[in-house]
Amino acid sequence: GQLGDGLLEHEWMRNAPHRIPGLSDVIGLSAMYDHTCAVHRDGGVSCWGNNYHGELADGVHGPASARAVPLRSPFIRDAVQVAAGSHTCARHRDGTVSCWGSTGPERGSSQPADPDQWLAWAYAPAPVLDVDDAVEITAGSAHTCARRSDGSVWCWGTNVSGSVGDGTDRPRPFPTRSGDIDDATGISAGFGHTCAVHGDGSASCWGDGRNGQLGDGTEYNLRLAPSPVADLTDATSIMAGFWQTCATRASGTPVCWGWNTTGTVGDGSTTERRVPVPVAPVP
């Protein structure tokens, strides 16, 4: 139901854009592999798709609670951004962050002491601890990151691939600073890696690098701390995907790197790219 057009299961595929009913005041969107969320102009949040762990913040959860059309959350009223991962998070007008749809460390909030309360706790948004000045958030498969007003990056989650960037691969249930970054202008969390754009136009990535998606010229298994992306000095934005990453240069030219077996790098080949290469122009 993640397309939001009312179709589930065997009717799921759409091979052309289809307008989502009931959404006309959207200022932001975020999609992961099985659910999608939108931010409304008035600060509300609507989500649709899989809701097994309460990712939709509609007060229910479980295998029978998927939503094939958008449903506004009764819990969120002042969001300015939403980030969908295996879970969901929202950035609020006051710079705080809340997350829901998981019982894991990617929520960044205190768990109830009683394990019997965890499922009920999972589908209700809970505040992320010690973050009150976020200017951007991003969510991966099992980690979340926030860019703060001072240019620093703070992440939390399972961290099995080093996606938190604190030099370890230990779980981080609360926000932890990623390296010594103090000039980030943009961040993006992929499936198991994270990237940041810096004020001077350079970029760095960390986490899972097994398919070249860190862009540092190697196929290093894991980078536990931020590593510079090679040959990129004028980036204006960055987007981390499943096993690949793309950035936009100041000229407007997109470049990508990483896993390319199905052509996801867009350079006209299926060769893995460990450093940024230009996306081929549209014919």
What 3-state class would DSSP assign to 180?
A: coil
User: Which tops the pLDDT comparison, 283 or 233?
Assistant: 233
Kindly report the number of other CB atoms within 10 A of residue 8's CB atom: 14
Instruction: Tell me how far apart the alpha carbons of residues 93 and 109 are, in angstroms, rounded to a whole number.
Output: 19
CB burial class (10 A; 0-12, 13-18, 19+) of residue 64?
exposed
Q: Tell me the per-residue pLDDT of 158-209, one tens digit each, with 9 for 90 and over.
A: 999 999 999 999 999 999 999 999 999 999 999 999 999 999 999 999 999 9
What 3-state class would DSSP assign to 43?
A: coil
Residue (of 156, 91, 159) closest to 125 by Cα position: 91
CA distances from 271 to 74, 94, 158, 206, 267 (A): 47, 45, 30, 22, 9
The confidence score (pLDDT) of residue 53 equals 80
The confidence score (pLDDT) of residue 104 equals 79
Residue (of 94, 95, 108, 101) closest to 73 by Cα position: 101
Q: Tell me the per-residue pLDDT of 252-270, one tens digit each, with 9 for 90 and over.
A: 999 999 999 999 999 999 9
